[in-house]
Structure 1
């Protein structure tokens, strides 16, 4: 990890360069003053970025390096994964663009684990194409969980809304069978700790959504709320974690409701992400919480339909960078407080003397 007086090293994996990934990276770093706040290290190809920065008419220079130790503050560092030209076909995933996405992610993740970078920000990938080329996971989360040996939590964050999901990338037909009391308790405990350590919320209030319409209507539209979700909430609340619900998903995402809570746990992917992406729009960030290392990404995909047209909005990627930095600082401060916590020495037995200073 970087020392306190050093800039945070932000590693950036390139994603699929035939989508909008390179465009949003270039645009997010186009302000010449950006490197005053952190040190970016892109895991990609200098020739690839030189070509695309010209397409999008952005003036940008790079410090080309072959090892992270050579990275410099005050500039955009480019760790060259290849010196070959890239065959760019905007809007179409190719074996070359997919392999670059895999190589970039693996290289950046290894650097994160080795302490060579402080945080990782991942640009959008094409999961299906990567799996065709031997990548074993349907997304970043599963890959990082395997690499770090720990289960993470998909958490979508913006300034005033944080949404976690209990089940990730699985078919809707399998959602109900993947919801258990113990899983809910485990994920909420993880979410609660994340809100404390990574977001500085000392006493989080967590809402929980029901699985069925109207949260089951007292059992008339499903029993999961009565048999699984409500008992989990009760156990958590009694253990000291401020957990509430289950709330009907169709009416929860109104400002006067969700603003009363620090985060919400949705039962499945689209139940949480559809309203989040509607409300947060370009400001949303995907954070893989609960892992020993910090990884964020924008809350959108490769967007092949607009690739190469110079219309992609980089705001979500920029938010991902600064969210990762904020989390890193919060977590560092929290760990420092825990490490330096004052331990009160046990009082010695009163010797009965009137001049004992402990009497005053």
Structure 2
């Protein structure tokens, strides 16, 4: 990382029958965005030209066939395929899912090989991407295999950060997966990410309980008393500012979440329902804990509005800005840790 002036933002195009192409176009139509980043869209110039014409966009593309041809100040399109693609907005199509994965794998390889600095993924359909070659529930699971580190689903805005102990897991399996080792690993990942990626020196972290009312002293389950509390006690004794478990039903409604730098939910909907209620359209899905940076918007393919020109690009735009901000924060953190005489990171809770 010799420079951080004009960051190369790789973009996987997602499901072409969804809103991904539209929100990419809307994000980079403003040429001012090219002053602080260089976008590289992994798709094909034929597809991007079709989308440009369909949405009456004035964006100009720079078509490239190798990543050494990336040009600053332009919206680069890396050709992952050459054949024409039949786009039918709003339709679930396994052929379109295959192109989404072609784009994503090419972008991930570029990320691994330092040809791009960060990756922003447009939404995919988790059903139509499945194949013999790609058998993962989604982006995060593949990235966890390809990149170094321990992945964490981390939903973030300027004022709210929610991490998950378990993510795409059926509810009936949640309590079986949560143990002391998992809690410790996820807490460490959140703690380190807050320091390195968000420049918070002494993070304050809340953890939500597994059962309603954190079990009500065993009346509604023993997992919180037998597993969660002992694990959190050990972590707190190590010096981390970790608190909980809190009853999830009142935690957000009481505004208690505002007292913490991050909240860790026990399972997917426990964390994402309040997160998306409070921040939908502005939230970002950040894959924390890995050695490279990936973000995505907080919504899906939105087939119901695809192709109509009315998709809201704000969450995707926030995903781009967040990836850039985290990249710069990591650069600063690495400079700091290699030279401890520099000023320490601020302890800010927005």
TM-score in terms of structure 2 length:
0.95
Q: Which residue of the partner structure matches residue 209 of structure 2?
A: 210
1:2–1:101 distance in 2 versus 1, CA, 3 Å: farther
Counterpart secondary structure, 2:312? coil
What's the CA shift for 1:96? 2.8
Task: Write the distance in 2 (CA, Å) between the matches of 1:270 and 1:80.
Answer: 37
Q: Which residue of the partner structure matches residue 64 of structure 1?
A: 63
- Once the two structures are superposed, residues 235-259 of structure 1 have per-residue CA deviations (whole angstroms, 9 ceiling, x without a partner) of 1111011000111111111363101
Question: CA contact under 8 A between 1:91 and 1:306: conserved in structure 2?
Answer: yes
Q: Which residue of the partner structure matches residue 284 of structure 2?
A: 285
Task: Write the distance in 2 (CA, Å) between the matches of 1:58 and 1:32.
Answer: 13
Matched length: 342
Task: Write the distance in 1 (CA, Å) between the matches of 2:65 and 2:30.
Answer: 25
Task: Write the distance in 1 (CA, Å) between the matches of 2:255 and 2:96.
Answer: 44
Task: Write the distance in 2 (CA, Å) between the matches of 1:231 and 1:93.
Answer: 46
Task: Write the distance in 2 (CA, Å) between the matches of 1:130 and 1:52.
Answer: 21
Task: Write the distance in 2 (CA, Å) between the matches of 1:242 and 1:141.
Answer: 27
- Once the two structures are superposed, residues 287-345 of structure 1 have per-residue CA deviations (whole angstroms, 9 ceiling, x without a partner) of 000000000000111111111111110000000000000000000100011112249xx
What's the CA shift for 1:94? 2.1
Q: Which residue of the partner structure matches residue 240 of structure 1?
A: 239
Q: Which residue of the partner structure matches residue 331 of structure 1?
A: 330
Task: Write the distance in 1 (CA, Å) between the matches of 2:315 and 2:186.
Answer: 25
Counterpart secondary structure, 2:34? helix
Q: Which residue of the partner structure matches residue 357 of structure 1?
A: none
Task: Write the distance in 2 (CA, Å) between the matches of 1:155 and 1:161.
Answer: 10
Question: CA contact under 8 A between 1:10 and 1:119: conserved in structure 2?
Answer: yes
Are 2:226 and 1:194 equivalent residues in the alignment? no
What's the CA shift for 1:129? 1.1
Q: Which residue of the partner structure matches residue 30 of structure 1?
A: 29
Select the structure of larger CA radius of gyration. Answer: 1
Q: Which residue of the partner structure matches residue 111 of structure 1?
A: 110
What's the CA shift for 1:149? 4.4
**Which structure 1 residue ranges, 5 or more long, are not aligned?**
344-360
Counterpart secondary structure, 1:259? helix
Counterpart secondary structure, 2:128? helix
Task: Write the distance in 2 (CA, Å) between the matches of 1:150 and 1:262.
Answer: 22
Question: CA contact under 8 A between 1:284 and 1:316: conserved in structure 2?
Answer: yes
Task: Write the distance in 2 (CA, Å) between the matches of 1:297 and 1:262.
Answer: 21
Q: Which residue of the partner structure matches residue 3 of structure 2?
A: 3
Task: Write the distance in 1 (CA, Å) between the matches of 2:46 and 2:135.
Answer: 29
Are 2:45 and 1:46 equivalent residues in the alignment? yes
**Which structure 2 residue ranges, 5 or more long, are not aligned?**
343-350
- Once the two structures are superposed, residues 202-258 of structure 1 have per-residue CA deviations (whole angstroms, 9 ceiling, x without a partner) of 000000000111111121111111001111111111101100011111111136310
Task: Write the distance in 2 (CA, Å) between the matches of 1:128 and 1:307.
Answer: 18
Task: Write the distance in 2 (CA, Å) between the matches of 1:339 and 1:83.
Answer: 45
RMSD value, Cα: 1.3
What's the CA shift for 1:271? 0.5
Q: Superposition pairs for residues 129-148 of structure 1, below 5 Å? A: 129-132=128-131, 134-148=133-147
What's the CA shift for 1:171? 0.8
